[in-house]
Amino acid sequence: MTKLSVNINKIATLRNSRGGDLPNVVQFAKDVQRFGAEGVTIHPRPDERHIRYQDARDLKPEVYTEYNIEGNPVEPFLKLVLEVKPTQVTLVPDAVDAITSNAGWDTIKNKGFLIDVIKEFQLNGIRTSIFVDPVLKQIEGAKETGTDRIELYTEAFAHQYGLGNKDAIRPYTESAELANDLGLGINAGHDLSLDNIKFFKENIPNLLEVSIGHALISESLYLGVENVIQMYLHKLK
């Protein structure tokens, strides 16, 4: 079964919009685990516009499932991850002003940099994953970095699937097959939703984990958080 990790950035965004501590990010993380989620994901950015660095620290003792911290490995992020020591770190090449993640790594151009960063995390017992587009040469490049896993960037699939183009899954399936052959674990995330998650899961061999935030929180406004988590878990079986 593919693990569901809930990205709770949107809860922090809502909290920050009014100041104070409502909704409480730590309590929400505890609740989604109680409702059945098998992981919690956060993606702190340098401007701390949603998840704050202190949130990452506060969450550490409360996340008893998979704890995944995503982000661009700039110096403050590196120090935070090495301090908190989550289950997994997912490296994402975010621009400072990016609204959300919008591209995977060029694993060939950034090979040397990624090797050094990944080695440091692994020496500290942190599983590594790198955000990649479904491009075969980038999957091969990811293998050369020494990463444990890749996270397939799924925005293109989600957009095309929403237009009725199911063939958009092909590069993801081919990338997953290559990753399996190379011994890389496979995660996925970005714009996956209740509408497309079952089809995606069925076409990605050995999909280990999906990280879902924006869609899950939006769906929960109408259907309730506990109900939505159970719906995802059912579709991921």
Residues noted as catalytic: 43, 70, 190
The size of the chain, in residues, is 237
Residues 150 and 179 sit within 8 Å (Cβ to Cβ): yes
List C-alpha distances in Å: 219 to 173, 179, 193, 201: 26, 31, 9, 19
State the number of CA atoms in the 13 A half-sphere of 187 facing the CB: 29
What is the number of other CB atoms lying within 10 angstroms of the CB of residue 184?
23
Both tokens assigned to 126: 């942190």
